[in-house]
Chains A and B, each alone.
Chain A
Amino acid sequence: MFNTLQEKFPLIQKFALLGGIVAIYLTAVGVVITFSLRNLIGTFVSLGHVFLVLGAVGAGVLIAQQFKDEDDASTYVAGFLTGAMSSVSLILFNIVVQLFVVQASEEGVFHLREMFVNFSPDSLAFLTFGQGFLFGNVLLFFLFGLMGLLGVSFIRLPEKIRRGWINGLIWVFSVGLFSENVSQVIRELFKYSGTSFNKILFTQKALNPVAAIVLFALTFAFGYMGIKTATSQKWAAMPVEKQKTGRIVITVMAVIFVAALPWLVGLFLSQALFIIGMYVMMGLGLNIVVGYAGLLDLGYVAFFAFGAYTMGILTTTGVLGRSDLNFWTALPFAMLVGVLWGVLLGFPVLRMRGDYLAIVTLGFGEIIRILALSNWLAPLGGGAQGVLHIPQPEFFGLSMNSPQAMYYLVVLGAVLAAFVTIRLRDSRLGRQWMAMREDEDVAEAMGINLVQTKLLAFSIGAAFSALAGSIFAARLGNIFPHSFNILISINALALIIVGGLGSIPGVVVGAIILIGLPEMLREFAEYRLLMYGILLIIMMIVKPDGFMPEARRRQEIKDEKDFLTEQAAKSEG
């Protein structure tokens, strides 16, 4: 064992350094401290702790992968060493803070904190667990060692235990993180039963330690017994008719779930659900343009703006009002305007491909926003003042003025968009898009009219975006040019990439991750873009096809593997 460790010591050093860099980075930019306000279990495990040990755990995982062929004992020792050594950077950090901030604070010899705001006594106290300088640092060292072990355990434990272990940890982490939302749901569910589960489960917006242990034990057991695989095997073994009824039952349950969701999660999250739904609509539209037709459009927000402004101007009761249409009668016009502009903006870029197209559409998006802001168009769209007093839609005489009601509207729109997308994908037009995306010249040589095919992609995508825009306008009641900035385009694009380009479930998953999560973690808004960036980078490295790759792409990955193994067999034989 000693020999193996000695031999692989450079690797241990390397990963420890890596883990240390991650840890000190997250600490120095303040992620650790800020997120320490969000407790996961009781008051002693917070999201900050998770970020603190992320580097050490990661280093443990990496080292375990390098020790694939070694025995368990040396791997675990290596994991501990790697983790513990990655704490060195933080111990140095503590020393620096102790010397130059805590002890120098009165005289102010050297004002480190003027440059580095997070080199603070608070950070120091957090990193030493309030246990004093010396003992605290020793504790930190050993904790990081344990976290290295944790990383190794993710790779090394026997299959069944590993499954239970990871399952349990994920559940405890997620429930702890979203304690507030989970308790809200439980409150709604047991509103009339009188018992208060929440008191048992949660303390101060975090999981109660005992509850955490119970939850862990339960989910561990589920993972250990492999409930998921067992269920899917049973499902596969079922006769076809039974699967059919099963599918109907699942669909009905899904519909009930989606319908009940806004009432379960409360007002604030209903608003988040509304925004997610809106982005799903936009994502589906952009997915047609980028995912199916392969046209990289970075100015997608323009159509969102057209939809919102058309809805606003047509229905407002304020000074800009031009007609007395209501939401429903104005909706077709809003979408029509979107389609028309889709075609209009599509024409000039017909001959462009790839990066050129991206740059030009990016420009379009900005031009539209600046035009909306200009005095020149102020008589029409209100300039910087925007359009005010946009009434909410009415449904059989009832005003849909709650987030919940608007949520239903947005779900309806998203379902419609998904339906249209599926039908188009499987149609002749869908094949035209795919062929065009793969090779424009060959597509043309097969008899595909590129002009028509491109314009259809642009205009259908624009229609979805305009639909989302009109609902957005009706929900907010007033719209301003600055709401239509490039970030909306970027969000929509990022979510379809994260979900899996071309995949419809991927759009939903992408919207939940990129739009929903930040809404739920609002108090950390300053780190939103940082997290966003990190997530995208990690995604592109580990899961370049997105969380839910399109069925076709999954097939392709499989085929490629088959092909490679076949080739390998051939060359050996």
Chain B
Amino acid sequence: MAMLEINDIHTYYGNIHALKGISLTVEEGEIVTLIGANGAGKTTTLRTISGLLTPREGSISYLGNDITGVPAHDLVYQRMAMVPEGRGVFAKLTVQENLEMGAYSRNDKEGIARDFERVFELFPRLKERRKQVAGTLSGGEQQMLATGRAMMTSPRLLMLDEPSMGLAPVLVDAVFDAIVEINKEGTTILLVEQNALMALSIANRGYVLQTGQIVLHDDAAALKQNEMVQKAYLGMD
């Protein structure tokens, strides 16, 4: 049984039909990527899964439970985490306090301490800047912090919304390396990306989203060779 199974969901913003029947699955231990043009509905899909939006039709199951309509703050306790688009760090809190907020839902002191170490190993820059107010971090550092904070919830499934947005190539590499590392340590990843080439090179499988519908789905390697994907998302002719 898949870890996450989405069945034909329809999500609306008022009258706007943003998701028109999306189905996808994520197996435990995988990296799955969701690619698509601007406005295709990638963010909407993640927000629906994580409980910030409720689908009008369709169902979502996670770890064998039906979680359709379960609010986001409850899903954290089922160890699902999301790094939102645009990072959303708590600008007025320090790096350390941001990470502490990440552990809000937990009370196993030792586990939290262990995860602190782990985050600082993954992102040594955060360790250096522990006392700095998050709002003054650079864009890349904020992305690391947002990812680290999600890690502090100790998730089994981690969803990331465009982690490479606005980052210099060096930092994009650093962030993607960290994602691969996180995955190796046993966390399943659902990755939304504009940077399709990067995403497909680390993912096992990929889905292509177009105006609220899934138009293609295959192994990452195969998608990379796909003519349509190459044309539309990899910028090749």
Contact = CB atoms under 8 A, between A and B. Distances in A.
A502 to B, nearest CB: 10
Given A445-B50, A446-B101, A438 B71 contact: no
A38 B235 CA distance: 78
Given A434-B90, A563-B132, A448 B73 contact: yes
By CB atoms of chain B within 10 A, which of A434, A445, A560 has the most?
A445
A552 B92 contact: yes
Contacts of A196: none
Interface string A433-466: 0110011011011111110000000000000000
A559 B94 CA distance: 10
Interface string B49-93: 010100000000000000000011110110001101000111111
Interface size band for B: 20 to 34
B52 A447 contact: no
Contact of A445 (B72, B77, B131, B136): B72
B105 interface: yes
B84 A438 contact: no
A445 B84 contact: yes
A441 B84 contact: yes
A434 B52 contact: no
A70 interface: no
B165 interface: no
Contacts of B92: 434, 438, 552-553, 556
A440 to B, nearest CB: 10
A439 B90 contact: yes
A444 B71 contact: yes
A500 to B, nearest CB: 14
A460 to B, nearest CB: 20
A447 B153 contact: yes
Contact of A559 (B88, B101, B132, B149): B132
A442 B153 CA distance: 12
Contact of A447 (B84, B88, B89, B105): B105
B102 interface: yes
A445 B87 CA distance: 12
Contact of B136 (A435, A441, A448, A560): A560
Interface in B154-191: none
B203 to A, nearest CB: 23
A430 to B, nearest CB: 12
A431 interface: yes
By CB atoms of chain B within 10 A, which of A432, A446, A450, A553 has the most?
A446
Given A434-B93, A447-B73, A563-B132, A441 B52 contact: yes
Given A556-B133, A559-B132, A446 B153 contact: yes
Nearest to A438: B90
Contacts of B135: 556
Given A444-B71, A444-B72, A447-B76, A439 B88 contact: yes
B136 A450 contact: no
A521 B204 CA distance: 75
A552 B136 CA distance: 15
Given A442-B84, A442-B88, A442-B90, A447 B104 contact: yes
A450 B71 CA distance: 10
A446 B76 contact: yes
A435 B71 contact: no
Nearest to B77: A447
Nearest to B51: A444
Nearest to A446: B104
Nearest to B72: A444
B81 A445 contact: yes
Contact of A435 (B81, B90, B153): B90
B157 to A, nearest CB: 13
A444 B153 contact: no
A560 B91 contact: no
A435 B104 CA distance: 10
Interface string A554-570: 01100110010000000
A439 B81 CA distance: 16
A398 B92 CA distance: 50
A563 B136 contact: yes
Contacts of B93: 434, 438
Contacts of B74: 447
Given A444-B72, A446-B105, A448-B104, A559 B136 contact: yes
A563 B135 CA distance: 11
Contacts of A434: 90, 92-93
A491 B17 CA distance: 45
Contacts of B72: 441, 444-445
Interface string A535-567: 000000000000000001101100110010000
B154 to A, nearest CB: 11
B73 A449 contact: yes
Contacts of B91: 438
21 contacts: A431-B101, A438-B92, A439-B90, A441-B84, A445-B72, A445-B73, A445-B76, A445-B81, A445-B150, A446-B76, A446-B105, A447-B76, A447-B104, A448-B73, A448-B104, A449-B71, A450-B73, A556-B92, A559-B131, A559-B133, A563-B136
Given A445-B84, A446-B102, A448-B73, 17 more contacts: A431-B104, A434-B93, A438-B91, A438-B92, A439-B90, A441-B84, A444-B73, A445-B82, A445-B150, A446-B101, A446-B104, A446-B153, A447-B77, A447-B105, A555-B133, A559-B131, A559-B133
